[in-house]
Amino acid sequence: MKPGIHPDYHPVVYQDRTTGEAFLTRSTATSDRTIEWTDGRTYPLIPVDVTAFSHPFWTGTGRVLDNAGQVEKFRRRYGTHR
């Protein structure tokens, strides 16, 4: 890598605002807020709105749409063209 052109890549903690769950990873993002992690060190804290801890797809709370109803709605609107 060319020196002096890449942003600082360091450990940060992302925290889900909805559930409060947090995970430690590496990022170029920075924050003025900090949190003490389980290893006793202090890391920058970046709160986020949605993570895998609160996303409907990953939590299993997502709704299933009626696909057959969508096909019928399309056929009523545009008819069957043959």
- Read off the DSSP letter of residue 6: S
**pLDDT score for 64:** 65
**pLDDT score for 66:** 65
Per residue, the 3-state secondary structure of 16-76, as one string, reads ECCCCCEEEEEECCCCCCEEECCCCCEEEEEEECCCCCCCHHHHCCCCCCCHHHHHHHHHH
**pLDDT score for 65:** 65
Q: Which residues of the chain have pLDDT under 50?
A: none
